[in-house]
Structure 1
Amino acid sequence: MVRPNNNQLPENLPQLQNLIKRDPESYSDEFHIQYQHFLSLLEVFALNPSEENKSLDDTVMFIAQVAQCYPAACELFPKHLADLLRNYATVLDPAMRNCFVKALILLRNKNLVPALDILELFFQLLRCPDKNLRTFLQAHIVTDIKNMNAKHKDMKLNSSLQNFMYSMLKDANPKAAKMSVDIMIELYKKNIWNDPKSVNVIATVGCFSKVTKVLVTSLKFFLGHDDEDEEEDTESENEVDLKGALLANRVSKKTKKGQKQLQKIKKQAVKAQKKKKNAPAFNFSGIHLVHNPQGMAEGLFKQLQATNERFEVKLMHLDVISRLIGIHELFLFGYYPYITRFLQPHQRQVTRVLQFAAQASHELVPGDIIEPILKTIANNFITERNSSDVMAIGLNATREICMRCPLAMGEDLLQDLAMYKTYKEKSVMMAARSLITLYREQLPALLHKKDRGRQTEAQAERKVRAYGEREVHDTVLGAEALLKDSKTIDIASDEDSDSNDGQWVTVNHSDGEGADGADDDEEEEEDDDDNEEEDDEDNSDEGEEEEEDESNAKDDGDAANDEEASKQKKEKKDLKILNQKEAAQELALTRIFTDEDFKRINAANLKKTVTNSRKRPLEQDRAEFVKLNSIEMIFKKRKHDKESRMETVQAGRQDRERFGWKDGRVNEHCSKTNSEKRKTKNFGMMRHKARSKVKKSFRDKQLSLRKHLLHQKKMK
């Protein structure tokens, strides 16, 4: 009897795959048979590549799974698949194309295919009219490049891929170009390709692409739309509630599904805890890494003037140009007359246009260039024919522009706008006062004398800078506050004036000695004040004698002496300030400041910006970008606060029947029924009533019936 052949390995590829992975040498012949079968199927498939071949599909995946066991025999296997995809990518059946791509990814994960070859092929496959395939390839490309740069960055590979991406952005296929720029932006956000080369590829190619989707994506990359804030919001929404899950698992029914969910939540909580402990990775805007910002701004402005795109795309152009001008302090004088055309209250998204005008302002722009914008805003917005909100927005925009270019404001226009400080609407009044406060710090001479306010110490020390003048500091501002920690000896006395020329010597001591030095300084200051008071008293006495002798008339000689005394006093004060600054500079050069020192310096600088009448310090540093909220911020008093709303409610209740339960008695003074009285009684008084309504059991009914029958029998 002939026994049947039970060897089903040639047809059962999963079983053969399992056996080969366990013992490759024993099943080498079976693998070579399958590989020859693959080559024959490949020749047949090349005759008609548009048809699906299920047998070839299974064979390809089988060889890809076990290729690491026979590297010599499978040396040309990746080349066959790559040639198929490169030659017939657009005509292949989608299922077959996905099979070949997955096989190549398996080989790439096993390091059987060079990374550069496979990634260049996948970039070319982005031209295929298959959305699912393009999404799959994008995820794989980003993950693969991220894994290659996990331990250390492969600069040679990254440079080659970036050069290839440069050509892909110019591809005629809009879908391939769009997917390529998406990949570059995602790699930049993941801090993988965050070098200037990637940014400048997007700046030079993406922002000037003829494809609208590529153009918009590139502009959004440089705008940096609050993606980090959105991620923080989503993280806060998806925050893991581990305590709630543990409590729910303790009280609910124990099931396998519930246990799996609990384990998943525990893993998420551990992952979130590790993420909180990690140091934050700061990824600043790519607009700082542009090599030629002036050329980019001029090119975008020229493209904006010639474009016929929708209004939202034009706003993106204006936003990117304004940021380039503001950050890099560029000169693009044609931008300001162009944006002036959109400064109308009825213009769509006019607050964003005002934001762009403020962002494009900086100290190096001549005031004559920005002054027409301020006049246009004043004529179109800050007039009483408009609503109070429009006027407030115009004043806020004027403040933001002048904060960055104070010399653009004229004296007449500023004094006219300052008159709105007493306007009847609070929003306009507050906006006008904020503009006055700004110029009190920047250029108080432009304000009317009554609007300048009380001068602070910081205002007295600030110098009015001319156009183009830069403020250069040779020491740490406010370091004079630390002089109390060191013993300062004034050797500008008469004895040592020739040798030391009135300079300060700073000697560092311990804490106790430093305190004594501070006390000595205070005593010296008090002595100076006492001497000044004595001089004032002597002068006043002399003045009284002169009034008595000469009938309130002073001689020219006395007037000259008073002027000379005041001049000497001023020179003495200036010399003292100069000596303090020199001592502070010497202290900054010879001592390393600690965090506590900087806290004291900041407190001293903050104290200089306040007066007895103004307790709140002013904002000194301007932000890099203008926030839209700073222009749209309107101070308004609520028309209906709680008191006015309650008055309205009480007025509506008058002459109206009482809402709620209505008493149905004819005479409201008569007694109520027992059921109505029962509603107001407490539960203790009605417990027996509630207990009687409980349904009797069968045993209780038996006993009750027996008791009733016995009672009737006795009555007879």
Structure 2
Amino acid sequence: MVRVNNNQLPENLPQLQNLIKRDPESYSDEFHIQYQHFLSLLGVFALNPSEENKSLDDIVMFIAQVAQCYPEVCKEFPVHLADQLRNYATVLDPAMRNCFVKALILLRNKNLVPALDILELFFQLLRCQDKNLRTFLQTHIVTDIKNMNAKHKDMKLNSSLQNFMYSMLKDANPKAAKMSADIMIELYKKNIWNDPKTVNVIATVGCFSKVTKVLVTSLKFFLGHDEEDEEGSGSDSEKEIDLKGAIMANRVTKKTKKRQKQLQQIKKQAVKAQKKKKNAPAFNFSGIHLIHNPQGMAEGLFKQLQGSNERFEVKLMHLDVISRLIGIHELFLFGYYPYITRFLQPHQRQVTRVMQFAAQASHELVPGDIVEPILKTIANNFITERNSSDVMAIGLNATREICMRCPLAMGQDLLQDLAMYKTYKEKSVMMAARSLISLYREQLPALLHKKDRGRQTEAQAERKVRAYGEREVHDTVLGAEALLKNSKTIDIDSDEDTDSNDGEWVKVDHSDNEGVANQDEDDDDESEDDDDDDGDEEDGEDGEEENDDEESDSDGAAESDPESSTSKEKKNKSLEVKMLNQKEAAQELALTRIFTDEDFKRINAANLKKTVTNARKRPLEQDRSEFVKLNNIEMIYKKRKHDKDSRLETVQAGRQDRERFGWKDGRVNEHCSKTNKEKRKTKNFGMLRHKARSKVKKSFRDKQMALRKHLLHQKKMK
């Protein structure tokens, strides 16, 4: 290899760098000279670290680029840079500080520096008053930890870094603590540090930090605001793509390269959206489920809220996190409910969110006496005729959401009073009241007035009213009785099969003949139901009230006739025995057979059929998720006062007997002729082009007229 003249290399570091990477052994002497020069420059720089040294900047990056070629010589090189950053981090020149940081990152990418040492140093540098540096360090820390855990998670390194982050969150410097919280949250969202330790560090340190920014960041982490904003805003790929409209528009418009490119992009987006719909949804565990001591955290946050002087938005975050903790983990924090009752006023800012928090904090294990004052406060402050219909509807919706999670909180008198709004003149109030009635038809129909209970469905008859604290435990698959029609089940009372098949699988086959017969019977029943449905065209609510009257009449007749009452009791007993036998057979079927997808479809259809009657054409849908949606409270049914035709009539009526809109000229008589100057404004340019060419300069007379006009205008303006 031909060597370059040594006299030129010390002044040309990029060329020397290129040559060293090609042949390190041939240029080792030159590198040693440069390294000694670096040490001397570093000693001079340490005397005045606040000034920029361009020579040191160049030689530091040069050594960082070729350090892998001479690992023994450069063994102390990162130590020197790290010492400079530790000792003079806050007083270093920003350019020199960025140079040292980039050199260390370059060495870390070449695995010449231990990860733990460099990351601890970078966390300490977050205290610097340099926003660009902090952002750069945050990106590098997240990327480096992500790369280290790409193939397999290094639990020892992660544990050491998490312990260091635990101390950084308590740092006195607010910017360093805030950046540390951001890094931990970002690593959790990227599924790198998604373990309970990270969540509990944020819960125990971040949520109780004295720094408001760290506190708000930690509370937002448990609220998941970032995910909700992304879902609510919706990116371009998530929007509805009108592919047919784009193809039709492309047919009738002029074909250009730009439009063809746009059409191709729309097609790609449509294909991508179609694939996204087919993919299975991905579910991530929320951090609030991984808290070790939710009761202690809720009590601590509530105590912090009571003694806080923060903004109202921060207080709302506290209320939101506490309500989610109470609702998800079914906690007991009885002081929370009287505190939140103070904010339940129609004039209160963001009162619908306060109602949402009250509903989220309600669950079945909270005694009804604790939640009942909230319902009474909402009824007194919102559900009164002195308020607008929107306020009344929101109050009824909030009452429904609270009672959906804690049905025992509602008293009989209050429920019957609220149910009377089902005939209110405003549709929004009427629909909200009927939704509350529908809820208690399913949960506790005994609290409703008899005329509001409606016709009892089969599912309501099977449901058992649970007392406070009682849990419903199922010993079989609900609705498995639907499979008994087309299957040969084992006779439970006989012991013939049990002796012969002891310890073996029992084969249960389908009978084609029975299946066809049962299917014909079901079809006949369905056709009869359809005929009944066609004949009944009245509203479901009216039909239910009529059915109630008929039932009340029949009940009265039954009380007067003792023979009919005894026959009714016998019939009920026989039905109970039959249902008990079906339940036992279904339980035995579930134990001896593996259900297929078709079986589960039949079970779901049978369960759905139990929830409807002839008067009620569709099942009641009660969405009981772990989080209360704000839309469920703010949802108001409204009928538009004017459709398009009526609005156009109003517009046309307003235009009558009104002067024509537009520019008005100065003529007294609008039918008289216009001046040549006014006519010139409406003429085609082709008719005036020859005049514009021939008369380039103004005459003295035109200048006089223009000046006179200008002076008169100025006089009027004064």
Deviations 1:579-612 (A, max 9, x none): 1111111111112222222221111111111111
Q: Give the equivalent residue in structure 2 for 1:703.
A: none
Q: Which amino acid aligns with 1:460?
A: A
Distance 1:87 1:263 in 2: 58
Q: Which amino acid aligns with 1:626?
A: V
CA displacement at 1:8 relative to structure 2: 0.7
Q: Give the equivalent residue in structure 2 for 1:477.
A: 478
Q: Which amino acid aligns with 1:176?
A: A
Q: Give the equivalent residue in structure 2 for 1:389.
A: 390
Distance 2:59 2:269 in 1: 39
Rg: which structure is higher? 1
Deviations 1:182-203 (A, max 9, x none): 0000011111111100000000
CA displacement at 1:355 relative to structure 2: 0.5
CA displacement at 1:349 relative to structure 2: 0.5
Query: Is the CA contact 2:50–2:92 (under 8 Å) kept in the aligned structure 1?
Result: yes
Instruction: Say yes or no: does 1:627 pair with 2:629.
Output: yes
CA displacement at 1:236 relative to structure 2: 2.2
Indicate the SS of the match to 2:24: coil
Distance 1:391 1:270 in 2: 46
* Mapping for residues 54-453 of structure 1, pairs under 5 Å: 54-225=54-225, 227=227, 230=230, 233-236=234-237, 251-252=256-257, 281-453=282-454
Distance 2:266 2:24 in 1: 41
CA change 1:95–1:291 in 2 (3 A) is: same
Q: Which amino acid aligns with 2:112?
A: L
Q: Give the equivalent residue in structure 2 for 1:528.
A: none
CA displacement at 1:515 relative to structure 2: 2.1
Q: Which amino acid aligns with 1:358?
A: A
CA displacement at 1:168 relative to structure 2: 0.2
Q: Which amino acid aligns with 2:156?
A: K
Indicate the SS of the match to 2:283: coil
Q: Give the equivalent residue in structure 2 for 1:463.
A: 464
Q: Give the equivalent residue in structure 2 for 1:672.
A: none
Q: Which amino acid aligns with 2:9?
A: L
CA displacement at 1:262 relative to structure 2: 14
CA displacement at 1:488 relative to structure 2: 4.1
Q: Give the equivalent residue in structure 2 for 1:503.
A: none
Query: Is the CA contact 2:325–2:331 (under 8 Å) kept in the aligned structure 1?
Result: yes
Q: Which amino acid aligns with 2:352?
A: T
Distance 1:197 1:69 in 2: 41
CA change 1:491–1:117 in 2 (3 A) is: closer
* Mapping for residues 632-711 of structure 1, pairs under 5 Å: 632-652=634-654
Indicate the SS of the match to 2:74: coil
Distance 2:519 2:28 in 1: 95
CA change 1:184–1:405 in 2 (3 A) is: same
CA displacement at 1:487 relative to structure 2: 2.0
CA displacement at 1:645 relative to structure 2: 1.9
Q: Which amino acid aligns with 2:103?
A: A
Query: Is the CA contact 1:191–1:283 (under 8 Å) kept in the aligned structure 2?
Result: no
CA displacement at 1:648 relative to structure 2: 2.3
Indicate the SS of the match to 2:377: helix
CA displacement at 1:643 relative to structure 2: 3.8
CA change 1:633–1:360 in 2 (3 A) is: same
Distance 1:445 1:607 in 2: 23
Query: Is the CA contact 2:441–2:453 (under 8 Å) kept in the aligned structure 1?
Result: yes
* Mapping for residues 25-36 of structure 1, pairs under 5 Å: 25-36=25-36
Q: Which amino acid aligns with 1:438?
A: L
Query: Given the two structures, how large is their TM-score scaled by the length of structure 2?
Result: 0.78
Deviations 1:465-498 (A, max 9, x none): 10000011111111111112312476879x99xx
Aligned-pair identity in percent equals: 86
Distance 1:192 1:598 in 2: 38
Q: Which amino acid aligns with 1:410?
A: G
* Mapping for residues 13-28 of structure 1, pairs under 5 Å: 13-28=13-28
Deviations 1:543-570 (A, max 9, x none): xxxxxxxxxxxxxxx9887655443332
Query: Is the CA contact 1:49–1:88 (under 8 Å) kept in the aligned structure 2?
Result: yes
User: More deviation in 644-653 or 605-614?
Assistant: 644-653
Equivalent position to 1:585, from 584, 587, 599: 587
Computed over aligned residues only, the root mean square deviation of the Cα atoms, in angstroms, reads 3.7
CA displacement at 1:518 relative to structure 2: 4.9
Distance 2:440 2:267 in 1: 57
Q: Which amino acid aligns with 2:211?
A: V
Equivalent position to 1:570, from 560, 564, 572: 572
CA change 1:492–1:559 in 2 (3 A) is: farther
Indicate the SS of the match to 1:617: coil
CA displacement at 1:509 relative to structure 2: 1.8
Query: Is the CA contact 1:357–1:401 (under 8 Å) kept in the aligned structure 2?
Result: yes
Distance 2:272 2:424 in 1: 56
Indicate the SS of the match to 1:485: coil
CA change 1:120–1:272 in 2 (3 A) is: farther
How many residues matched? 609
CA displacement at 1:517 relative to structure 2: 8.4
CA displacement at 1:44 relative to structure 2: 1.1
Deviations 1:620-656 (A, max 9, x none): 4501111111101111111112342243245446668
Q: Give the equivalent residue in structure 2 for 1:709.
A: none
Distance 1:480 1:307 in 2: 57
Query: Is the CA contact 1:382–1:395 (under 8 Å) kept in the aligned structure 2?
Result: yes
Distance 1:126 1:263 in 2: 46
Indicate the SS of the match to 1:236: coil
Deviations 1:354-398 (A, max 9, x none): 110000000000000000000000000011111111111111100
Q: Which amino acid aligns with 2:160?
A: S
Deviations 1:111-165 (A, max 9, x none): 1111111111000000000000000000000000111111111111111100000
User: More deviation in 42-51 or 25-34?
Assistant: 42-51
CA change 1:272–1:29 in 2 (3 A) is: farther
Structure 1 regions of 5+ residues with no counterpart? Answer: 500-505, 526-557, 661-692, 694-716
Q: Give the equivalent residue in structure 1 for 2:530.
A: none
Q: Which amino acid aligns with 1:9?
A: L
